[in-house]
Structure 1
């Protein structure tokens, strides 16, 4: 009587699977170890290359590039010390810029400041703080030179405190006055079927008007006009005092729209 055939166990298949799994794990471990050591080498190299302090020589000029200034600066700790990550232009905060100007005033090795206002986008309060710091710097007898291909209004207001304001021959000074252009949402909300529930007490409450009106109310127009005219008059007086140009001449330049045509 013949014995029934017993199915052979696929030992070779499972050996292959096990060997592949072990090889996969080993390869991942080796890659992780290699990546870790490569990371350590990059970090150590970056820290070593950045450990040399900047030497300030007698007669140095502090360069302030205002295109990279911000009220608050957040930093990526990883990209801050790994070469090739992040931007080469590191942003500086307003407080850092003000502290640098104060230190430069007290440092006998620094003769002056070179101010680059190209692409400046700071707020009006920050601009006024920077301008006061630069005025204080000039009181020490040191110079400030400003340059830009073109000056917008805030950039020129800030730069007007400098000893020399240099403009590219093909550039312009955008002194045009101040304006406000509120956006109103009531019609859009009506089309979307959105109802704004507004609680307003008092006359001069312009913050909620975009959600309930299609144009400025007269009280809101009045308060915006007072604010803008007061700020504009302040800027013109400051520029006039620094550049020795009459306020009426500055106002006439802005009103004529010469910033948009041939000077």
Structure 2
């Protein structure tokens, strides 16, 4: 009781202070307006996420731009007579391939209206690759590079750590079964190098993506594809080399690029992308509702604690709830399921897939828009949609199952740790990391994997209207790019989110130009909701998650190993290690 009262009074005090601060802020920002002529300013060095989190992030100034923000602002700007052009800052490869391709398409539409677009970079990748960054920048009609900057259009590299030798030294024994040869998720633990199938898959992925980069740059810079491939082999290129090779248009500083944008606009004012969007408003904000549901990250069954840590997580609890809410909402005429997930739990994926089916049965079409990744369990939750769209660079497929565990029995013995065991049931200790699988355990493990894999194949065949032979050719655990998946029948077409909205209109029997309201389901948490979480004690989880966000690169590297400790059958995409 005392703890509750302390939190209650702390909340009241916080609300008073927040109210005063908000009042001052609102007064200062009262009746915001936009200049008569505008040059939009974008910063692609700024972190960009798939979708917005909670309201508290915005209040304390930790709100990142979302992909939807960028697309909305560019789409709004191309029809706004005040907007004359845009200038964007680039740097390293901070976004995914599919995200870069979606924004390229938006820039193409923007420029098609006669507006200009200027790209500027201190360096397109300085101590790392700049492939995605430059591929996007090449869609602009002018590309500027600072003196002494480089264009690190170096091509792609896949670097995957294989830990088997290190684990053997430690006395740790990984035991995994997979279906089939390309389902190589666990091979980083069980092997010391690529298998022939794993290497073949990676070479195919890198080859296809490299071709997409070369084609995009060649098209935008009016060069031959062979010429671009030759430049990739020479890169990184210094400023003068890049200018001579026609990869850039000018060598100059940021202030000079901005001055050129202002000159071309006839003296317009620079307006930050997020500020412009906040005042001008999103593009799709009137008319019947299309529910936008994000499935981002590892697919899990879910819990309240995980919801507090990550409001955009791909838990079955959150996604099933969102899909059911869309089914019950009379204003919703269709749904777009935006997926950026490499998979996860079999059970959770099936729960989400079932909710997609139920939403369709409620008379509301579902369009899947695949982001950077929609593979394994990410493909499972997509396959029953009315229409599936991918970007050319989307990683998808990975139709297969892997399961097993890491046993530390030898390490325990080395450390002098003895495990006393009391159990009833032949397989009671099957998932224990204290000892390896025995024959009975392995029989049950393989039965589980076989059942899950057969269900995966059967459901894909039914949902995509493919023969068993076609599904098997597309499956075997193999990861495909969106371009490859289209040829295999795993997706219906290549397209961005604007195309997904157009298809949703069509399936909902709306006119092609009918206005629609694109609404997140569930809506992002309000500031008040997050404050109540703080008062209830869940705020410690929220704050802890935000502190740990700084360690995300390390967490991304460790995630495959951590996931391996979960012994249930999993549908998880093979790590690509692309750089």
Same fold (TM over 0.5): yes
**CA distance in 2: counterparts of 1:241 and 1:115, whole angstroms:** 20
Q: Is the 8 A contact 2:90 2:122 kept in 1?
A: no
Structure 2 distance, partners of 1:175, 1:74, is: 33
User: Is the 8 Å Cα contact of residues 240 and 246 (structure 1) preserved in structure 2?
Assistant: yes
Query: Could you tell me how far apart the structure 2 residues matched to 1:33 and 1:40 are?
Result: 10
Counterpart of 1:247 in structure 2 is: 225
Residue 142 (1) aligns with residue 115 (2): yes
Comparing 252-261 with 42-51, greater Cα deviation is found at 252-261
Return 5+ residue gaps in structure 2 as ranges.
1-9, 125-129, 242-579
Q: CA-to-partner distance for each residue in 1:147-193, whole Å, 9 max, x for gaps?
A: 01111211110010111001112101001111101111212222333
Q: Which residue of structure 1 aligns with residue 74 of structure 2?
A: 101
Distance 1:198 1:38, change over 3 A: closer
Q: For the Cα contact (< 8 Å) 2:119–2:142, is it kept in 1?
A: yes
Q: What aligned pairs does 1:187-202 form with structure 2 within 5 A after superposition?
A: 187-202=165-180
Equivalent in 27, 52, 60 of residue 31 of structure 2: 52
Question: How many Å apart are 1:254 and its aligned residue?
Answer: 1.7
Moved over 6 A (4+): 31-36
Query: Do the aligned partners of 1:62 and 1:112 also contact (CA within 8 Å) in 2?
Result: yes
Answer whether contact 1:66 1:120 (CA < 8 A) is retained. Answer: no
SS at match of 2:144: strand
Checking the alignment, whether the CA contact within 8 Å between 2:151 and 2:239 is kept in structure 1 is no
Change in 2 beyond 3 A, CA 1:141/1:186: same
Stretches of structure 1 lacking an aligned partner (at least 5 in a row): 1-30
Residues of 2 paired with 1:215 and 1:200: CA distance? 17
Please give the secondary structure, in 2, of the residue aligned with 1:67: coil
Q: Find the residue that maps to 1:199 and give its secondary structure.
A: strand
CA distance in 1, matches of 2:231, 2:156: 14
Q: Secondary structure in 1 aligned to 2:117?
A: strand
More strand by percentage: 2
* SS of 1:233 mapped into structure 2: helix
- The number of equivalent residue pairs is 226
Aligned partner of residue 88 in structure 2, secondary structure? strand
Q: Secondary structure at the match of 2:178?
A: coil
Distance 1:39 1:75, change over 3 A: closer
Larger RCO (alpha carbons 8 Å, 6+ apart): 2
TM-score w.r.t. length of structure 2: 0.37
1:161 partner SS: coil
Distance in 1, matches of 2:52 and 2:15, equals 30
